[in-house]
Amino acid sequence: MRACLHTLGCRLNDSETNIIRQKLEAASWQIVPFGQEADLAVINTCTVTAMAERKCRTAIRSFTRKNPNAFTAVVGCYSQTGSKILADIEGVDLIIGNQEKLNILEYVKLGKNNPPLIIKDKIIRDDFTIDFVGETEFARRANLKVQDGCDFMCSYCIIPRARGRSRSRKMDNLIDEAKSLVKRGAKEIILTGVNIGTYSYQDKGVTSVIEQLANIAGLNRIRISSIEPTTIDDQLLEWMDDINHPLVPYLHIPMQAGSNKILKAMKRNYTNSEFIEYINYAHNKVADLCIGTDIMVGFPGETDEDFQETLQIFKDNPIAYAHVFTYSQRDETPAKRLAEQVADSVKKSRSASLRSVVERRRLQFNQSFLGREFDVLFEDKKGDYYPGYTPNYIRVGLASKEDLSNCTRRVRLVSSVADFIEVELV
């Protein structure tokens, strides 16, 4: 029996899809690329924006048209919030929310359903474990789920509804999976969650997680996927500045907006001056630090002056890149009820303007390291190059006849090529 998997959205979804993949392989399913003929599809969905939901629906219809007799399972965040919409898509057999999605095989055994079976249990707030299999090879950078849900309740965000309130993975369970990932080939582990900095299990925070991960033999790198600015411990910066510690010099810290008026309306727990002060503090404390951020454009009430303030803060401070999101109305969020909704044409124009600045800044950051040497963990070959990342998240490529997949090599950054830096072996 052939199964395919498709993930939309964040690294957290990626980590959960991998758990499902391992369970399918352990149950003797042959995994094939999404788009090929298959007996089962598992589509792990995202609901963070209206565009994300559209992409989910498109992926589902694309599979069911080509595989009308297959079992189609739609799981994750959109399944939790939009089950009624998904149930109307022809060919869907199972819609399963975030509480039960890792147990999907128990429902696949029941066979096809018309209408689809909907499993949307209330999300339990207790600390949790993950039943991982840990048998298949895992020779790449690995996402490790350490936390789920969020208590911050930003006014635009649907995630607390989709994933529930903040809860943490039991320490022994996540460390066991990390050891399993390393045993199977992973040399870099990326901590994933909704709000990683709020991790708390038996009075131990995310620093305790990293402290234990750092003791795993064979684990060369630890990376934090994203962390809120109000939750960063100084100890993290000290480790990032220590070249002998596996925690790499990389911080992705969501800013969302540069205007205090908009930050307040978003219910973010900091001012623009506090954000600026922190990123400059981190930049001065950690050598070669890469700081990334998220910026939302077109939040209700955002004026041209508010947008320009956000743009100026990005330009004037040591931020290497930004993920630009256009505000999208989400049901049952306070922001949807705000009166001053920004026109789509204005949101589109501002997003394009900001993305242009972001692209130039990313290029400038990368080129500032030309001539420098770094250790790079290479991934599988794509085209003529082996891609990889420096510790501070510069994407590089190396043309080589040697098989460099999952190998770490010392390289020198040579020149810009498209969206990466070409390197040579030292």
Q: Which two tokens stand for residue 139?
A: 């020779």
Give the pLDDT score at 139: 61
Q: Which of 391, 324, 395, 242 is nearest to 51 (CA)?
A: 324
Strand partners, 6: 43
Give the pLDDT score at 136: 67
Q: Do 243 and 144 share a domain, yes or no?
A: yes
Give the pLDDT score at 389: 96
Contact 257, 294 (CB under 8 A): no
- Identity of the residue numbered 162: A
Q: What is the domain count for the chain?
A: 3
Q: Which of 146, 277, 128 is nearest to 223 (CA)?
A: 146
**Positive or negative, the Cα torsion across 10, 11, 14, 19?**
negative
Give the pLDDT score at 418: 78
Q: Do 39 and 107 share a domain, yes or no?
A: yes
188 domain residue, yes or no:
yes
Q: Which helix (H) or strand (E) holds 413?
A: strand 408-417
Average pLDDT value for the chain: 95
pTM of the prediction? Answer: 0.95
Contact 336, 277 (CB under 8 A): no
- Summarised one tens digit per residue, pLDDT across range 233-264 is 999 999 999 999 999 999 999 999 999 999 99
55 pLDDT higher than 90: yes
SS3 content of the chain, % helix, strand, coil (to 5): 35, 25, 40
Q: Residue 98 burial (CB < 10 Å; 0-12/13-18/19+)? A: buried
168 domain residue, yes or no:
yes
354 domain residue, yes or no:
no
132 domain residue, yes or no:
no
Choose the final residue of a domain: 119, 150, 168.
119
Mean pLDDT of the 320-325 span: 97
The CATH number of whichever domain residue 38 belongs to comes to: 3.40.50.12160
- Summarised one tens digit per residue, pLDDT across range 62-94 is 999 999 999 999 999 999 999 999 999 999 999
Q: Do 68 and 113 share a domain, yes or no?
A: yes
Choose the final residue of a domain: 119, 150, 174.
119
Q: Do 108 and 184 share a domain, yes or no?
A: no
Q: Do 101 and 168 share a domain, yes or no?
A: no
Give the pLDDT score at 416: 93
Q: Which two tokens stand for residue 189?
A: 């582990």
CA dist 80 and 86 (Å) reads 10
CA dist 275 and 319 (Å) reads 11
237 domain residue, yes or no:
yes
Q: Do 179 and 76 share a domain, yes or no?
A: no
Choose the final residue of a domain: 223, 248, 273.
248
- Summarised one tens digit per residue, pLDDT across range 200-240 is 999 999 999 999 999 999 999 999 999 999 999 999 999 99
DSSP string covering 284-323: HHSTT-EEEEEEEE--TT--HHHHHHHHHHHHHS---EEE
Across the beta sheet with 221-224, what order do the strands follow?
Answer: 142-145, 188-192, 221-224
- The residue segments making up the domain with residue 411 are 373-425
98 domain residue, yes or no:
yes
Q: Do 15 and 61 share a domain, yes or no?
A: yes
Give the pLDDT score at 138: 64
Q: Which two tokens stand for residue 142?
A: 């690995």
Alpha carbons within 13 A on the beta-carbon side of 209: 31
Confidence grade of residue 195 (pLDDT, cut at 50, 70, 90) = very high
Task: Kindly tell me the number of DSSP H helices and DSSP E strands found in the chain.
Answer: 13, 19
Given the structure tokens 């003529």, which residue do they identify?
384
- Could you tell me which residue, 139 or 190, shows the higher pLDDT? 190
The CATH number of whichever domain residue 167 belongs to comes to: 3.30.750.210
- Summarised one tens digit per residue, pLDDT across range 112-147 is 888 999 999 889 999 999 999 877 666 679 999 999
294 domain residue, yes or no:
no
Q: Do 38 and 144 share a domain, yes or no?
A: no
In 97-151 the beta strands, taken as DSSP E runs, fall at 117-119, 142-145, 147-148
281 domain residue, yes or no:
no
The CATH number of whichever domain residue 381 belongs to comes to: 2.40.50
Q: Which two tokens stand for residue 194?
A: 């909704």
